[in-house]
Amino acid sequence: MADKRPIEQRVADHENRIEHIEDSMRDLKDDLSKGLQRVDESNRYLRNQNGEILREIIKRNNVAEQHDYTLKKMSKTNQIKMFTMIFGASGLAFALIELLLKFL
């Protein structure tokens, strides 16, 4: 089926189609560019949030480790005090009993 229109009209119609396609491609390119900008902004925001969350987790872990260390230190100190009292008191009691036995 041959097109019966004159060549000038067909060329003009072809140019109009090309312009329409170029406009559509430009619009798609602009939309894609805007979408990528939004994605970049979202990624920046998420990276900042992740950094803040990571800093908080590290901070809490450090606090928890310090708390655990303090509890262990207190436990060891209390054990040492307890053994000192037990052995110190029994040694003192033994010395007093021995002194009493010497004088009696």
Question: Tokens 């170029």 label which residue?
Answer: 22
Lowest mean pLDDT of 17-21, 40-44, 99-103, name the range: 99-103
pLDDT band at 1 (very low <50, low <70, confident <90, very high): low
- Indicate whether 24 pLDDT > 70: yes
Structure confidence by residue, pLDDT tens digits, 35-92: 999 999 999 999 999 999 999 999 999 999 999 999 999 999 988 888 877 777 777 7
d(CA 67, CA 60) in angstroms, rounded, equals 10
Question: Tokens 């067909």 label which residue?
Answer: 10
Helix%, strand%, coil% for the chain, nearest 5? 95, 0, 5
Q: Give residue 69's region: left, alpha or beta (phi > 0; psi -120 to 50).
A: alpha
d(CA 31, CA 40) in angstroms, rounded, equals 14
8 A C-beta contact, residue 11 and residue 18: no
